[in-house]
Copies of this chain bind each other. A is one copy, B any other.
Amino acid sequence: MEIIRTVSEMKAAAAAFRAEGLSAGLVPTMGSLHEGHMSLVRKAVSENDRTVVSIFVNPIQFEAHEDFGSYPRDMAKDSELCERASVDVVFNPSAREMYPDGFHSYVDMSVLTEGLCGARRPNHFRGVCTVVSKLFNITYPRRAYFGQKDAQQLAVIKRMVLDLNMDVEVVGMPVIREADGLAMSSRNAYLNDEERADAAYICKALSEASRLFDEGERDIRRIERHIGELLSKIPSIALEYAEIVDAKTMRPPDGDHGEIICAVAARVGKTRLIDNVRLK
């Protein structure tokens, strides 16, 4: 496995894959790899001739008050996990390499980014779209893998690829959970024992939403309120939103067609966690 830290070397490696007629799969990550990431990596390895994992804590997708500085970083462990998973290249550039002096270009999106996390993190999806565009241009993947835990991010990336005519197949992969249902996230490391125990209620509330929907409830406001009431009983949890939306548009479902999800963001102590479940 090769670890590459510069854009020009990564481009050369990717161009060499292409010249040999080899397909590349990209798994963009911010490192601190867990089973959620590794499920994407395994899928990429199984579907492509070469797999590139990018490990880059992307400064421009954090708001100024957020956890960019304290976001967990462990390149040694991440590299080992990638090596064992038969990854071909880890791309691990510095912020300066990705955003040199005079960097002024951005990829952004309207409408899909206006609700949910986008409403609370006004610069987040601009940062995500920009870095993913760059990573696509640097690594020329045939396929790129993203977790469905970040449901709005997945919808945004799919829309960006379509709108800007990019030649990448975006593959969304199921949420991977701990034994008690908590969605895996690098930010789970921030939780103390009490918070960790409480955090499982986010998933439990989503299961309740799913149950109500399966029983025929179609008043989405009622389901959303029910989640709010359930989580309001958990001392360390402060709900940010619980919304039922169309998985493609991130807007209220238009009738009963299309994929519908229930998405939640909540603070558990000081840690902001997100999760979602597919209702249909």
Enumerate chain B residues within 8 angstroms of A130, measured Cβ to Cβ: 164
Residue A71 lies at the interface, judged by CB distance under 8 Å to chain B: no
Contact, CB under 8 Å: B129 / A163: no
Chain B: CB-nearest residue to A98: B165
Contact digits for A146-162, partner B, Cβ 8 Å, 1 yes 0 no: 00000000000001100
Most B CB contacts (10 A, CB to CB) among A7, A107, A110, A134 go to A107
Given contacts A164-B134, A165-B137, contact A159 B104 (CB under 8 A): yes
Q: Closest Cβ of chain B: how far from A64's Cβ, in Å? A: 16
Within 8 A of B (CB), among A62-115: 102-112
Given contacts A137-B164, A137-B167, A164-B137, contact A111 B104 (CB under 8 A): yes
Enumerate chain B residues within 8 angstroms of A137, measured Cβ to Cβ: 164-167
Enumerate chain B residues within 8 angstroms of A159, measured Cβ to Cβ: 102, 104-105
Q: Contact check: which of B7, B11, B133, B163 meets A104 at CB < 8 Å?
A: B163
Contact, CB under 8 Å: B109 / A106: yes
Contact, CB under 8 Å: B107 / A7: no
Chain B: CB-nearest residue to A160: B105
Enumerate chain B residues within 8 angstroms of A165, measured Cβ to Cβ: 7, 11, 134, 137-138
Enumerate chain B residues within 8 angstroms of A108, measured Cβ to Cβ: 105-108
> Could you list 10 A-B pairs, sorted by A, with CB under 8 Å?
A7-B165, A11-B167, A102-B159, A106-B110, A107-B108, A108-B108, A130-B164, A134-B164, A137-B164, A137-B167
Using a CB–CB cutoff of 8 Å, the interface residues on chain A facing chain B are 7, 11, 102-112, 129-130, 133-134, 137-138, 159-160, 163-167, 249
Q: Give 9 nearest A-B pairs by CB, closest first.
A: A105-B163, A137-B165, A104-B111, A105-B160, A104-B110, A138-B165, A104-B109, A105-B109, A134-B165
Given contacts A11-B167, A107-B108, 13 further A-B contacts (CB under 8 A): A11-B165, A104-B110, A104-B112, A104-B159, A105-B109, A105-B129, A105-B160, A106-B107, A106-B109, A107-B107, A107-B164, A108-B108, A134-B165
